[in-house]
Amino acid sequence: MKIYQDVSPNLSEFLKVNIKINKGNPNYIRPLDQDIKSVFDLKKNRFLKKGKASRWLLKNDSGELIGRIAAFVNPRYKNLGDKYKTGGIGFFDCIDDQEAANLLFDTGKKWLEEQGMEAMDGPINFGERDRWWGLLVEGFHAPPYGLNYNPPYYQKLFETYGFKNFYNQICWKMALSDDAQLSDKFYAAHERFEKNPEYTAQHYNKKQLKKFAQDFCDVYNGAWASHKGNKSMALAQAVKMFKKMGPIIDGKIVWFAYHNNKPIAMWLNIPDINQMIKHLNGKFHLLAKIHFMILKWRKICRGMVGVVFGVIPEHQGTGVDYYMIVEGEKEIKTNTKYRELELQWQGDFNPKMLNISKNLEAEKARTLITYRYIFDREAEFERHPIL
């Protein structure tokens, strides 16, 4: 076996490893090439301006690709209570061979040590945590867009090397079929708020983008910015986010609740575009875009992904979120073809967020793990602190 640093600008072999490892798995959905390439593109990944990334390929003695890995140093990467300078490894793929996996992990570790790091987390992304984050260990059905997918034996490769569970990432699912019903408490809360003219619920309208972006900021900053490590969101940032989601956003699955016209709760979902991407074979050139738009027009996407859910503190526990959800449920069941909702991963270090999903009576859909490996093997390991 021999390992090579991958400096190819088109990442052709790096992309090929992932396809080769998952070949024959009917649940595997090939990510868009451009999404992976953008992680390593200085013009598209702002984290590269102050951080570093490197990639390697592993080949056997016959010259066949059998593995890959990337390593990252991101000065902005922080976890609550961190004691160590921590880098990351990600985009790991490997045959079921511990010696091969160890060579990949050792290479990433050595490079990170050279950058002054004391530990490595993985598999993680060199960027935001909503994509390519964590190792799938439960729920090996087809993944939603941006979620890591890997063979089950990867867990053994990580843990045998010495990685330890830093935190679990839980995804939840809810059925949206005509015969699926929420519990009675949802409808009781809905009836109570529906009778009060001070409360209203409204779904997103692209023609009022700036208004809803401001509503999003108000709820986000009220519900989340006060939490440790969370920064407030500016209107310009929210406008940019909604514009970026423009090609895929469906207003009927983005909901806000209001008290005397003031936004107090939000429930933001997006279509699971992986149900369309799986037909594109990783490409998004002109013909692929046309194919994508045809699939979108045909409304073949039956799943949606919950991205953000929040209620400002003054209205938490009142049931206004149940009112908003029932309003959304009526619209979704009547005027859309979505029949399943998967909630984006939630860390087990955040019990309040997990309780929201449990209160929604959602079922666990899958589990991923973010691992940590401390370079000083005598150093004390601690899991991510509870928020």
Q: What domains are there in the chain, each with its CATH number?
A: 2-166 (3.40.630.30), 177-338 (3.40.630.30)
First CA to last CA across the chain, in angstroms?
43
- In angstroms, rounded to a whole number, what is the distance separating the alpha carbons of residues 374 and 77? 16
> Would you write out the chain's pLDDT as a tens digit for each of its 387 residues?
999 999 999 999 999 999 999 999 999 999 999 999 999 999 999 999 999 999 999 999 999 999 999 999 999 898 988 999 999 999 999 999 999 999 999 999 999 999 999 999 999 999 889 899 999 999 999 999 999 999 999 999 999 999 999 999 999 998 887 777 888 889 999 999 999 999 999 999 999 999 999 999 999 999 876 554 557 889 999 999 999 898 899 999 999 999 999 999 999 999 999 999 999 999 999 999 999 999 988 889 999 999 888 899 999 989 999 999 999 999 999 888 999 999 989 999 999 889 878 877 889 999 999 999 999 999 999 999 998
- In angstroms, rounded to a whole number, what is the distance separating the alpha carbons of residues 197 and 215? 19
- In angstroms, rounded to a whole number, what is the distance separating the alpha carbons of residues 21 and 96? 9
Q: For residue 51, what pLDDT is reported?
A: 95
User: What residues does 175 pair with on adjacent strands?
Assistant: 340
What does pTM read for this prediction? 0.90
Q: Which of 180, 40, 155, 36 is nearest to 98 (CA)?
A: 155
In this structure, the strands spanning 262-271 and 199-203 are unpaired
